[in-house]
Structure 1
Amino acid sequence: MCGRYASTLPPEMMEELFKLLNQIEMVPRYNIAPTQPIAAVWEQHGRREAHFARWGLVPGWVKDPREFPLLINARVETMAEKPAFRDALKHGRCIIPASGYYEWHTNPDKSKQPYYITLSDDRPMALAGLYASWMGPNGEEIDSVATITVPANRQLGEIHDRMPAILDEAAIDDWLNVLDVHAAEARQLALPLPDGTLKFHPVSTRVNSARDDDPGLIEPVTVMPPELPVRKKRVAGGGAQMDLF
């Protein structure tokens, strides 16, 4: 599951990398969280543009977004069948530009350690996503998105069993081309990256709070191994000694 990410790309770099016909005002973000407005790229009427959209997809048929579950991720295995995602897979594919994303590893003692994950060559990421537009009865309009997740490759499996679908440069055009590339073909583009394509390091648990958003969040930290559980073992004479297991 991808639940937090960073995006520090300047608008001019976004425009060049993703062949945009527009720019939107962006500031570097280091801890982007669900429900927040995020930058996403999609094509309409042959124009590829960046938009701000809510992270948490709201299909057009929803009556009240306040009563609808928060859908931040779509699993690649089921998105073609799920009512919330299948129309977006056909008509609303997008990419979410990112510099890197966070994932949490569960330690043996059940504590969770966050990691920051980037491409091994530090290039920007294009996360595969889906978008939808919701229109309210009083003219309200919400553009919203969900990222797509795939099974983790062996390298990332050390941290978590899922990872976002990250598109390479050759796949971006086909993913965004909803007119000529059908859903079944697009589905084949959302794949785990090969081992060695990514790198990662542990970061501060400050990232757990969406209130924190600064460059220090992506800096590596030293992680101490979790303490092993300790039990008392009886010894001869009625005493006890500590026993690690």
Structure 2
Amino acid sequence: MCGRYASTLPPEMMTELFKLLNRVEMVPRYNIAPTQPIVAIWEAEGRREAHFARWGFVPNWVKDPREFPLLINARAESMSEKPAFRDRVKHGRCIVPASGYYEWHTGPDKKKHPYYITRVDGQPMALAGLYSNWIGPNGEEVDTVATITVAANPQLSVIHDRMPAILLSENQQDNWLNVRDVRAHEAAQMALPLEDGALKFHPVSTRVNSARDDDAGLIEPVELGKPEPAAVKPKKLAGGGQMDLF
């Protein structure tokens, strides 16, 4: 399960790296949590653009999102069969840009400690995801997203048994977003664990447990068992109040 991540890529770099036709303004985020607004990229009518969306997928057939389970992840092995996701595997694939993500490991003392996981080469991550446009009874619209998870590779399995599906190459990203020409079963074959050695990780502050904390200190390495640095005042979220609907 991937339940927290960081995204610090400057808007101009995101536009260039992912070949976007637009630009979104978002401050660096170090502790993005479910239900918060995130940046997701998808193609529609031949246009590849970035959008603000709610992290917490809501199928378009749901009547009241407040009574629907919070779906932040879709398992790659079953997404094509699940009623919530199967249509979006065909028509609603997206990418979630990230700098790294957090996972919690339960140690011998039975306590969970967070680790920050990034690419070895320092490049941004392109997390494979699915998006849906939910339209309410009064015409209100909210874009929602789930990130896709796969079985962890041997290297990451020492921390957790799942990891995000990460699209490394430009060709993979292009094909994942190309819902016109690339069929669902072809796209699903790209949602695979990365090979050992592609990622690295280190323990970080337990402050990441609180979504109220959002600062650069969260991704800094800590020594387990040592006192942790104090929090700093968090920045305001980008994306405004567009997620206030639910």
TM-score calculated relative to the size of structure 2: 0.90
Pairs aligned (count): 225
Structure 2 partner of 1:123: 123
Q: CA deviation at 1:162?
A: 0.3
1:19, 1:186 → 2: CA distance?
20
Structure 2 partner of 1:64: 64
Q: CA deviation at 1:107?
A: 1.1
Q: CA deviation at 1:109?
A: 2.2
1:29 maps to 2:34: no
More strand as a share of residues: 1
Equivalent positions of 1:131-170 (< 5 A) are 131-169=131-169, 170=171
Equivalent positions of 1:42-53 (< 5 A) are 42-53=42-53
2:205, 2:20 → 1: CA distance?
34
Structure 1 partner of 2:216: 215
Structure 2 partner of 1:7: 7
Q: Could you report, residue by residue, the CA deviation over 1:120-150 in whole angstroms, capped at 9, with x for unpaired residues?
A: 0110000000000010110110100000000
Structure 1 residue matching 2:51: 3-state secondary structure:
strand
2:13, 2:158 → 1: CA distance?
32
1:60, 1:93 → 2: CA distance?
15
Letter in 1 for 2:91: H
Which is higher, the Rg of structure 1 or of structure 2?
Answer: 1
Q: CA deviation at 1:224?
A: 3.4
Structure 1 residue matching 2:212: 3-state secondary structure:
coil
Seq. identity, %: 78
Q: CA deviation at 1:168?
A: 1.3
1:137, 1:73 → 2: CA distance?
26
Q: CA deviation at 1:108?
A: 2.1
Tell me, which stretches of 5 or more residues in structure 1 are unaligned?
A: 226-245
Q: Could you report, residue by residue, the CA deviation over 1:1-34 in whole angstroms, capped at 9, with x for unpaired residues?
A: 0000000001100000000000011100000000
Q: Which runs of 4+ in 1 moved over 2 A?
A: none
1:194, 1:15 → 2: CA distance?
27
Structure 2 partner of 1:55: 55
Letter in 2 for 1:214: D
1:168, 1:9 → 2: CA distance?
16
